[in-house]
Amino acid sequence: MKRLNHWLMGSLLSSALATTLVSHSAIANDTQPDPLQLDSCFVEGVSKQLQCGQLSVPENWQSPTGKNLDLNVIVANAISQSPQSDPLFLLMGGPGQAASELVPGLLKIFHSVREDRDLVFIDQRGTGKSNPLVCDEEDGDIYEVLSSDFNVEDAKKCIASFDVDLSQYNTNNAILDFDAVREALGYQQINLYGISYGSRAAMVYMREKPQALRSVILDGVVPPQVVVGPMGIEAQRAFDILVEQCNSNQACLELFPSFVSDYQKIRAQLELAPIKTMIDHPVTDKSIALNIDSKKFINTLRNMLYSVGRRELLPYVVSEFAKGNYKPFVGLMSQSEDSIGGMYVGLTFNILCNEDIPRAGKDLLAKDRANTFSGAHTFEVFSGICKHWPTFTAPANFGDKVVSTIPTMLLSGELDPVTPPSWGTMAAEGLINSKHYVAKNAGHGLVTQTCAANMIGEYLDNLNFDDVNSSCLDKQPLPGFLLNNNSNLHVKETK
């Protein structure tokens, strides 16, 4: 298994001028390191040329004369002929997403920001083309493979295939990498956008290199003091909101009165015995093997809770599953199969097994295990593997609250099943110059579901929260529930 689908989507310089890109600020500062060499390139899914290059950095920043690794960098130059000198760096989620694989979608999302600012995408070490931590096995068929099929022995084989010092593939070193790219490109200060795990990386950047940052945007906030892994409570919270909304909708309640009991019944049955059967593929109609256990059932539904438009399918899908009709559920799985971008699980386990799981105390695990949506499943995905994963010690202050005066915009979705608004509130406690925006009808990652990207553009101009028109968040519609196989939606009234 190479990667697991998650989640987690100007002129350009002419070819004659594209050999080296140096910002205006670099020209004024002759103490900067040699500029990063960028050449014109095409990125899959993008029609116009961008700028691509690699920056060699130490694998171990404490031993800079030792082994190096190459960071993959992509720059989308500002469209304006007179761009701002402070670009927007984009840090992806996971941990384990590669920024380079999400460029097409991000260019669309941040098109207004790009009018005046460069957009910079860096594959975090261990992802994409930055010495990726992948396994040798091919991806399995998502319809047949179970999460338990990636077991301890597979993890050991995976680890043995890595010709790297895994202790150096951590968040703090990633920040040193990102800042080295900033210096090599000649930017004095940058604006930083981080989504999900990327928001945690951004907060570590705020702590370690504050002078390099003009502003920060945190989307789907994961403060360092939160332990990632035991997240069943967050999923239950989002599921409970969905249940309440269904029960408040006459059509949904009438058609799916046993939504919750059906879910719990299916979950209990799958705990006793997985379902193994044959089914027609939702796209090709070819007969395929289907293998579902409780973890696969829970994780598929949990992933659908991430965004509006998908979460509203669950009452119908669960109802049909309870009747023995698995095709709607397989349809949900096919959406994951077609999703863009994946997770480099070597980096995922390496970071979470060392920076988070060791901080999960007995009280936290007991509290999380008691959730009614997934029980201990969300934590068990990591705990079994982490017992055998190579260890390193995170910095002593890693889990401390980040305290900063850097202008910071925080974005949360009320329906988010993994990074709830309370996490944004927790992070904001130490961010003196910040404002937290919550979209009531959005899930995980506001830039993908709402007008948040426009808000970011408005904010970056003057770093004045008064310039940000957030009323668009309140206007975000909530889709209706899927009521039958003909996609007959009952439109919900939103307030």
First to last CA, the chain: 44
Q: In percent, how much of the chain has pLDDT > 70? A: 87
User: In this predicted model, what pLDDT tens digit does every residue of 43-89 receive, in sequence order?
Assistant: 999 999 999 999 999 999 999 888 999 999 999 999 999 999 999 99
Closest CA to 402 of 233, 226, 234, 230: 226
Worst-scoring range by mean pLDDT, 270-279, 329-338, 413-422? 329-338
* Per-residue pLDDT band at 213 (split at 50, 70, 90): very high
* Secondary structure class of 73 (helix, strand, coil): strand
Q: Please count the other Cβ atoms lying within 10 Å of the Cβ belonging to residue 263.
A: 24
* Per-residue pLDDT band at 15 (split at 50, 70, 90): very low
CB 271, CB 258: distance < 8 Å: no
CA distance 101 to 104: 8
Q: Which two tokens stand for residue 459?
A: 């904010």
Return the ∠ at Cα 472 (arms to 412 and 315), rounded to 5°: 60
Tokens 């997985």 appear where? 274
CA distance 41 to 74: 9
- How far CA 248 is from CA of 251, 261, 323, 414, in Å, comes to 9, 17, 24, 17
- Per-residue pLDDT for 266 more than 90? yes
Q: Which two tokens stand for residue 327?
A: 């095709």
Closest CA to 452 of 466, 439, 465, 434: 439
Please state the rounded mean pLDDT for residues 99-119. Answer: 97
* Per-residue pLDDT band at 148 (split at 50, 70, 90): low
Please state the rounded mean pLDDT for residues 417-421. Answer: 97
Q: What is the DSSP letter of 444?
A: S
Tokens 């702590």 appear where? 207
Sign, CA torsion 416/417/419/420: positive
Return the ∠ at Cα 48 (arms to 184 and 118), rounded to 5°: 35
Q: What is the dihedral of CA 94, 99, 102, 107, to 10 degrees?
A: 130
Sign, CA torsion 297/299/300/305: positive
- Residue with the bigger pLDDT between 19 and 179: it is 179
Q: Which two tokens stand for residue 210?
A: 């504050």
CB 183, CB 209: distance < 8 Å: no
CB 272, CB 331: distance < 8 Å: no
CA distance 418 to 234: 6
Closest CA to 463 of 455, 472, 452, 471: 455
Q: Give the model's pLDDT for residue 429.
A: 97
* Bond prior to 224 in cis (omega within 30° of 0): no
Closest CA to 309 of 452, 413, 422, 421: 413
User: In this predicted model, what pLDDT tens digit does every residue of 442-471 receive, in sequence order?
Assistant: 999 999 999 999 999 999 999 999 999 999
Residues written for the chain: 495
